[in-house]
Structure 1
């Protein structure tokens, strides 16, 4: 199967502006079926090594890089995904597979030998990174997301608010995560993703924030805020 590398643009905008754009987009875009009117909470457990390889690559502006995370939604720990997010300059690609809470707990405890023989390629790949590059669970990132989709161009626009982080990865399964804000109060991260083209109706709607496009990593922001 051919890999799909999607265009990705990020903007840091005031909360009021994000609400205005959300209202405009809701006229012709569909809300994410999993989030409803109020959106949903996203929590991710990120991996890095002793040399902060992932963090340094982001801060140094390395154009081609990977990062691994385990993700859940609305504190529902019955459904967890291991994800590999790959970046190739302004394009992104995601590989993922389902994992269980018991497996994540074993990883948090340093019990990883079972991963080497696992049937899921991504689990085996993470095992190699953990063995050869000393990757370990590093920190937890959490935020509130409002998401929209649009069929033509396979467009997805998200507004991530209240971004916060926790430097203790073992707190991943704690319902009330002790966290530190990663952005100044009132700021929202808007992401625009699409395949081959961005439809004109979407492009014209988000045109007002074009000059605010920037490289932004929620993982890096939370690490620096610790």
Structure 2
């Protein structure tokens, strides 16, 4: 399975500091622009207490049925590991209904992995969280400003419903700053750890 490996730091800042930092980044990273988007993520219930235990998510970017992904994410030795695989709306709905038998024999390694974990650990759809983000590509990774974090009321059934009721989870006067830095390892180490090529940058930091 292909993993992207990165360090991640987070910090809450107020809106004045956000404005200053955003302008500084735009001046430093010439010819780059912030990408604005809304992301909804559904987390499957499992072991919530340990970052070293893989967590699985369904992700939808801008409510676009061409931008649906299954995500696996966990931390090891202070390094985040992430794997993603694209889904169509039909297969996404099947997963939400608990119809995952088809994933067992899929050519996509992440689908096989999810089927095994969901079967062994009885994973089930949990809450949907909505994020409003601004993301900028930098020399060694990405900086994202998360301006709103909301819990979507109504459970997983509202993953695709744009008018769903939400509950604010981030203070109104705060912005969450997230910095992700790629872990650069020699090719031989990558091959030993993953057995295949790494993911592209766009896929690796899509969310």
Structure 1 residue 22: Cα displacement: 0.8
**Structure 2: runs of 5+ lacking an equivalent:** 185-207
- Tell me if the contact between 2:5 and 2:183 (Cα under 8 Å) persists in the aligned partners: no
Q: Match for residue 12 of structure 1?
A: 12
The whole-number CA distance in structure 2 between the counterparts of 1:17 and 1:40 is 21
Q: Match for residue 96 of structure 1?
A: 84
| Selected match of 2:182 from 195, 203, 213 | 195
User: What TM-score, normalized by structure 1, do the two folds share?
Assistant: 0.74
Three-state SS of the structure 2 residue aligned to 1:193 is: strand
- Tell me if the contact between 2:130 and 2:151 (Cα under 8 Å) persists in the aligned partners: yes
**Structure 1: runs of 5+ lacking an equivalent:** 198-226
Three-state SS of the structure 2 residue aligned to 1:26 is: helix
The count of residues paired between Structure 1 and Structure 2 equals 181
- Tell me if the contact between 2:43 and 2:125 (Cα under 8 Å) persists in the aligned partners: yes
Deviations 1:74-117 (A, max 9, x none): 11122211111121253212111111111111111121111111
Q: Match for residue 199 of structure 2?
A: none
The whole-number CA distance in structure 2 between the counterparts of 1:71 and 1:166 is 13
Q: Structure 2 vs 1, CA of residues 23 and 88 (structure 1 numbering), >3 Å: closer, same or farther?
A: same
Q: Match for residue 109 of structure 2?
A: 121
Q: Does 1:177 align with 2:179?
A: no
Q: Does 1:43 align with 2:44?
A: no
The whole-number CA distance in structure 1 between the counterparts of 2:113 and 2:4 is 20
Q: Match for residue 33 of structure 2?
A: 31
The whole-number CA distance in structure 2 between the counterparts of 1:2 and 1:132 is 22
Structure 1 residue 169: Cα displacement: 0.8
